[in-house]
């Protein structure tokens, strides 16, 4: 059917910073993730600097089919308005879908009203929901434990599955819902820091050990993770678990074909 599908499904990391200090000082970039799956382009969590990071990498917003927010926090949503404007070329080419949790449109909506009219539609994410964008489907299986209404995502493409575990305090529901060939985990802390509702490196070890994906990517680093050299921690975790664990780098492009055949 889709004969002109470009080869190579990729995920580009437009930033790897998590939480306030890393983002406010731009010690690492914070632009979210840009998917290109069989030519369908999707942007997830356009944090501060997304427009700068994406244009710098020659990613073209007008090619986006959808933008998805895991939750409304600023490090995931700050550039949403400009990315909608860029996707629709200032409203001259209305198109594209926006997927957001309900509270992102509440009393302080993350999107300006005049931009809503440029979109093909806005879909509210719900626990247990399944959605489609072209021939890609994704689900938001479980609500996370986080200050804002937050969902991770499980993607199914023609060739692969991958999941994105967005901001959350650890709970066993994460294990039950995100099994995939590739796991992307937002790991803010090097050590657990309860009751702050973020995952820590020991949580990553537990999740990866239990789910045993073909590969795991750690991202969204807070200051403690950054100081602890995430690339070294990832290497240690690879040796310990036998799972290929990668610390994302700003601008890193991960090719899903490296996961082998499904
Ligand atoms: Zn958050």
pTM of the full structure: 0.96
- As a whole number, mean pLDDT of residues 197-224 equals 98
Name 178's bridge partners: none
pLDDT at 2: 45
DSSP string across 141-176: -SB-SSSS--B-EEEE-SS-EEEEE-S----THHHH
Q: How confident is the model at residue 61 (pLDDT cuts 50, 70, 90)?
A: very high
CA–centroid distance, 153 to ligand 1, in Å, is: 15
Distance CA 235, CA 238 (A): 5
Give the distance (Å) from ligand 1 centre to CA of residue 146: 7
CA of 93 to the centre of ligand 1 (A): 31
- Let me know the angle formed at the C-alpha of 71 by 65 and 77, rounded to the nearest 5 degrees: 65
Measuring CA to CA, which residue among 95, 131, 134, 100 is closest to residue 115? Answer: 95
**CB contact set of 61 (below 8 Å; sequence gap of 6+):** 43, 51, 54, 55, 83, 86, 87
Nearest residue to 150 (alpha-carbon basis) of 168, 137, 164:
168
Residue 262 pLDDT greater than 90, yes or no: no
CA 147 to centroid of ligand 1, rounded, Å:
7
Q: Which pLDDT tens digit goes with each residue over 63-74?
A: 999 999 999 999
**CA–centroid distance, residue 188 to ligand 1 (Å):** 10
Ligand 1 centre and the CA of 73: distance in Å?
Answer: 5
Q: Which of 151, 148, 158 is nearest to 173 (CA)?
A: 151
């Amino acid at each position: 059917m889709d004969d002109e599908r470009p080869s190579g499904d990729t995920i580009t990391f437009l930033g790897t910073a998590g939480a306030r200090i890393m983002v406010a000082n731009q010690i690492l970039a914070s632009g979210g993730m840009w998917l290109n799956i069989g030519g369908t382009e999707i942007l997830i969590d356009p944090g501060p600097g997304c427009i700068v990071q994406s244009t710098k990498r020659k990613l073209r917003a007008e090619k986006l089919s959808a933008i998805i927010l895991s939750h409304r926090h600023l490090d995931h949503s700050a550039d949403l308005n400009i990315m909608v404007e860029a996707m629709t070329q200032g409203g001259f080419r209305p198109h594209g879908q926006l997927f957001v949790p309900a509270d992102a449109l509440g009393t302080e909506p993350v999107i300006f009203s005049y931009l809503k009219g440029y979109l093909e539609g806005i879909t509210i994410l719900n626990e247990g929901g399944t959605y489609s964008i072209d021939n890609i489907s994704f689900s938001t299986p479980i609500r996370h434990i986080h200050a804002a209404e937050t969902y991770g995502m499980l993607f199914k493409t023609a060739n692969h599955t991958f999941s994105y575990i967005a901001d959350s305090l650890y709970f066993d529901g994460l294990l039950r819902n995100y099994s995939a060939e590739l796991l992307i985990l937002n790991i803010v802390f090097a050590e657990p820091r309860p009751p702050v509702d973020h995952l820590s490196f020991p949580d990553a070890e537990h999740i990866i050990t239990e789910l045993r994906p073909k590969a795991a990517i750690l991202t969204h680093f807070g200051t403690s993770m950054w100081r602890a050299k995430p690339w070294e921690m990832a290497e240690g975790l690879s040796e310990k678990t036998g799972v290929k664990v990668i610390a994302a780098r700003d601008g890193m492009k991960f090719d899903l074909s490296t996961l082998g055949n499904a």
